[in-house]
Chains A and B, each alone.
Chain A
Amino acid sequence: MTAVDARPGRVEVHGVHKSFGAHEVLHGVDLVVEPGSVTVVLGPSGSGKSTLLRSINHLETVDRGYVALDGELVGYRRRGDVLHELKERELLRQRTRFGFVFQSFNLFPHLTALENVVEAPVSAQGRNRREVEAEARELLARVGLADKAGAHPRQLSGGQQQRVAIARALAMKPAVLLFDEPTSALDPELVGEVLSVITDLARTGTTMIVVTHEIGFARQAADRIVFMDEGRIVEQGTPAQVLDDPQHERTKAFLAKVL
């Protein structure tokens, strides 16, 4: 496949704290995601899953701690013991190494599906438009939407929109794909088509971090499951470990509710 190269994508999260006003959402999170692995983040609403994901590609700035991609700090440059905040331009360039898929899709409604996919590789990576268009059509075909290239987002179902959004994220050839509850805004009968696209991607060896409530998907696709509660990682391990033999009381309580 052209779009997803088996590039390394090792993500390290170290002691990340984040507050919104007086409310601390993340209380020191540590996490290492190996390149090519699929990590699923589970946890009740308000446990800080989305904030963690958004901190990884610096959509949220963290108050303490740091995030690194393949050893390179995200959002900062280190000189001695001092961290210098990156300029917006450098930050945007760094972001192109992450693909982000939003819960509410966030497709650009005034652009067609094809234009949505083509926009960033051309304007952010300065690539040749014609080349990118050919790749974009391939990507749309891969998510099963070859015939929808000319459609505007509002002419598509939720599931189709989310698949376009996935193609858009893939077009950047990111090292890491971040999914923020990609199926939570979908009607139940549309969840499957999106999950099957994500499952296919999981087999191609792209590093993926997926925040979701879909336990079945987690069991099938995840290499590692991380369970979060109240801004902390409570427990992590293989799907068999976490889902079938949870050690922590909160994990047990959560699983009892959703399984």
Chain B
Amino acid sequence: MTLLEHRPVAEANPYEGLRVVKARHPGRWAATAVVAVLLAMVANSLITNPRWEWGVVWAYLGEVSIVEGVWMTIKLTLITAVLGFALGTVLALMRLSQSPLLRAVSWGYTWVFRSVPLILQLLLWYNLAYLYQTLDVGIPFGPSFASFETLSLIDKFGAAILGLGLHQAAYSAEIVRAGILSVDQGQHEAAASLGIPRRRQSTRIVLPQAMRTIVPTAVNEVIGLFKGTSIVYVLALGELFYTVSVIYGRTQRVLPMLVVAAIWYVVLTTVVTVIQFYVERYYARGAVRTLPPTPLQRLRGNLTAGLARVRSTSGQDPVTR
């Protein structure tokens, strides 16, 4: 300090020629080393332990029955997600309605379907035929126009869809309701003061804004569903997990088959996560001043920045370095 103060005033910049030494982080280096060693150990055991039977994993990964199981898992997830969120939205709107009966029914639905374990619900739906042999379409308390055999209407697949979908609706209702509540009251008022029709207020003004809150939680639910569908193995429905368990029951290759299933579940979750990024980006319009870059844009940005850095370094006068 004193040295600097005694320098002649004429010198333009007293800090010129000073060198910056970055702070050192020994703890961070040590932690990094430890984690690197642990990773190496994991990799080593995965590769060298023959009991993982990677050959078997590889052979079954694209096997026809496995792929069919994956397809069934996808079908179950998509249908129940759509059914769950459609019914959930209706339930959320009922819960926010002025009618006490609608509010009570919505609350009661959520209460019952969140309280009863999913596995139990699935078995109940599958055994619906015991309670009602036929399902009729007609006037309440009046004549019936058409009658169906319950068994033919609700097969394994139907029971799985009903069980998963109705269960999902109870959770989705709360997610949608939270989203609607997150929209500023002023938005409802502005829409009302402009005379925008009620339905349009919901679809054009409120729900698009609610989606910003809804999407992250909803994706969580869809990912949960992908894995949650494995529970329908109790109905002996041929989704991924049931298929895998049938195969290892036959071949006794339990661990490699579980790894096959795990790999497929990771793939499915990854796909959903990528979709989530773009959906969230879509609904972020207007909520942020500039949208976050897509991975491609970020890659391109990093490349150009890196190239620029290389160019500027190589072009620099060697004497100053």
Contacts and interface: CB of A to CB of B under 8 A. Distances in A.
B288 interface: yes
Contacts of B198: 88-89, 92
A154 B288 contact: yes
Interface string B187-225: 101111111111010001100110000000000000000
Size bracket of the B interface: 20 to 34
B193 A100 contact: yes
Contacts of A169: 194
B17 interface: no
Given A57-B193, A100-B193, A119-B194, A108 B187 contact: yes
Nearest to B185: A106
A123 B204 contact: yes
B189 A106 contact: yes
Question: Which one of B187, B194, B195, B196 has the highest number of Cβ atoms from chain A below 10 Å of its Cβ?
Answer: B194
Interface in B107-153: none
A154 B284 CA distance: 12
A259 B172 CA distance: 56
A123 B285 contact: no
A224 interface: no
B195 A119 contact: no
A59 B195 contact: no
A104 B186 contact: yes
A169 to B, nearest CB: 8
By size class, the interface of chain A is 20 to 34
A102 B209 CA distance: 19
A88 B97 CA distance: 14
Contacts of A119: 194, 196, 204
A59 B288 CA distance: 30
Contact of B287 (A93, A109, A120): A109
A124 B197 contact: yes
Contacts of B283: 110
B195 A92 contact: yes
B28 interface: no
A17 interface: no
Contacts of A96: 194-195
Contacts of A172: 194-195
Contacts of B204: 119, 123
A154 B192 contact: no
A109 B286 contact: yes
Given A95-B192, A154-B287, A106 B187 contact: yes
B25 interface: no
A47 B15 CA distance: 62
B289 interface: yes
B286 A92 contact: no
Interface in A83-117: 88-89, 92-96, 98, 100, 102, 104, 106-112
Contacts of B197: 89, 92, 123-124
B196 A123 contact: yes
Contact of A168 (B192, B194, B289): B194
A120 B83 CA distance: 32
A155 interface: yes
A109 B284 CA distance: 10
Interface string A121-133: 0011100000000
A250 interface: no
A152 interface: yes
Contacts of B189: 59, 102, 106
A159 interface: no
Interface in A148-188: 152-155, 168-169, 172
B195 A152 contact: no
Nearest to B184: A106
A150 B200 CA distance: 22
A109 B187 CA distance: 9
B190 A107 contact: yes
Contacts of A59: 189, 192-193
Contacts of B187: 106, 108
Contacts of B194: 95-96, 100, 119-120, 124, 168-169, 172
Interface in A30-70: 57, 59
A92 B186 contact: no
Contact of A154 (B190, B208, B289): B289
Contact of A110 (B186, B287, B289): B287
From A119, A123, A153, name the one whose CB has the most chain B CB atoms within 10 angstroms: A123
A110 B195 contact: no
Nearest to A120: B194
A88 B287 CA distance: 30
Interface of B: 184, 186-187, 189-198, 200, 204-205, 208-209, 283, 285-289
18 contacts: A92-B195, A92-B196, A93-B195, A100-B193, A102-B186, A102-B190, A107-B190, A108-B190, A110-B209, A110-B285, A110-B286, A119-B194, A120-B196, A124-B197, A124-B200, A153-B286, A154-B286, A169-B194
Interface of A: 57, 59, 88-89, 92-96, 98, 100, 102, 104, 106-112, 119-120, 123-125, 152-155, 168-169, 172
Given A98-B193, A108-B205, 13 more contacts: A92-B192, A93-B195, A100-B190, A102-B190, A108-B209, A109-B209, A109-B287, A110-B286, A119-B194, A124-B195, A124-B197, A154-B287, A172-B194
